[in-house]
């Protein structure tokens, strides 16, 4: 049910953005050829898909939690959005600088333990990632055609925060709450980004398209000293975006 609601949310957001962009295009005064525009401001909306349990980094805290808690890595899929500035280097190369935002809270319970009164032992796992990226794109058939595929790559600076809040069971099987002092880790991790996409010019000042990105990065949680079962948090995954760019 949660996955269905997530998918419907992404589709609704994409539809709304498409309608908005169409309305904006109707008001654009076309003053130059799109191929002559050297700058663009872009906006993206789509979904983030974290790397699956079998491919995550060693000692990942989410994988460690799977032994005790009733959730799946796929539960961390969620909507993401962002913006970027694109600068033309030549007919076949562009540079891009962007930022995005992703956050998801996954409620869960202990899979095989309950409180003495029979109630569930509940907690919330929350992950936030704010990527800041610098990329280079190669357009194999140029940036002036009616269809413009591209591939690229670069580096990402991933500002992240991960927390676990609720009730937990210690090594003596005693249930305790950490709501007044939750387990929290945060930081900035650096890693590679690759991307591929396809865009379509609409008039002289607008392009619409789709893009897929992959990112690789890990953060340090502090492990047991900070209350986490793993010393790492894997920030890797793929992002599928709807894109809109305004050229100038």
Among 15-29, 65-79, 176-190, whose mean pLDDT is lowest?
15-29
Q: Say yes or no to pLDDT of 29 above 60.
A: no
Dist CA 94 CA 215 (whole Å): 19
pLDDT tens-digit readout, 79-124: 999 999 999 999 999 999 999 999 999 999 999 999 999 999 999 9
Dist CA 107 CA 17 (whole Å): 29
pLDDT tens-digit readout, 2-20: 444 444 444 444 444 444 4
Tokens standing for 177?
Answer: 């709450």
Dist CA 35 CA 94 (whole Å): 13
* Cβ(27)–Cβ(232) below 8 Å: no
Average pLDDT over residues 218-232: 97
Give the pLDDT of residue 50. 98
Dist CA 24 CA 115 (whole Å): 56
Query: Whole-number mean pLDDT of the chain?
Result: 89
pLDDT tens-digit readout, 46-86: 999 999 999 999 999 999 999 999 999 999 999 999 999 99
Residue 228 phi/psi, 5-degree rounding, is -100, 150
Give the pLDDT of residue 160. 98
Helix or strand run (H / E) with residue 16: helix 2-26
Average pLDDT over residues 114-138: 97
What DSSP string describes 188-224?
EEEEEEEEEEEEEEETTTEEEEEEEEEE--EEE--GG
Q: Where are the domains of the chain?
A: 2-24+37-239+241-245
Dist CA 96 CA 137 (whole Å): 8
* pLDDT grade for 191, boundaries at 50, 70 and 90: very high
Q: What is the assigned CATH class of domain 2-24+37-239+241-245? A: mainly beta
pTM, entire model: 0.85
Helix or strand run (H / E) with residue 99: strand 93-114
Please give the share of the chain, as a percent, with pLDDT higher than 90. Answer: 83
Give the pLDDT of residue 36. 65
| CA 15 to centroid of chain Cα atoms | 19
Average pLDDT over residues 166-184: 96
């Amino acid at each position: 049910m949660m996955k269905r609601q997530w998918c419907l949310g992404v589709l609704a957001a994409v539809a709304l953005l498409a309608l908005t962009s169409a309305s904006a295009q109707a008001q654009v005064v076309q003053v130059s050829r799109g191929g002559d525009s050297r700058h663009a401001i872009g906006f993206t909306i789509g979904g983030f898909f974290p790397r699956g349990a079998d491919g995550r980094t060693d000692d990942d805290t989410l994988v460690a939690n799977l032994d005790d808690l009733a959730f799946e890595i796929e539960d961390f899929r969620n909507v993401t959005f962002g913006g970027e500035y694109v600068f033309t280097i030549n007919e076949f190369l562009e540079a891009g600088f962007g930022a995005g935002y992703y956050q998801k809270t996954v409620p869960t319970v202990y899979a095989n333990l309950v409180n003495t009164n029979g109630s569930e032992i509940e907690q919330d796992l929350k992950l936030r990632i704010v990527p800041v990226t610098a990329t280079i794109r190669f357009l194999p058939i140029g940036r002036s055609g009616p269809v413009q595929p591209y591939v690229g790559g670069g580096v990402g600076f991933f500002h992240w925060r991960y927390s676990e809040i609720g009730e937990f069971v210690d090594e003596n099987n005693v249930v305790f709450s950490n709501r007044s002092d939750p387990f929290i880790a945060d930081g900035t991790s650096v890693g590679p980004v690759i991307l591929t996409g396809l865009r379509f010019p609409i008039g002289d000042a607008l392009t619409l398209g789709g893009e897929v990105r992959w990112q690789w990065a890990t953060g340090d949680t502090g492990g047991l000293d900070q209350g986490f079962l793993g010393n790492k948090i894997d920030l890797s995954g793929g992002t599928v975006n709807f894109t809109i760019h305004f050229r100038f």
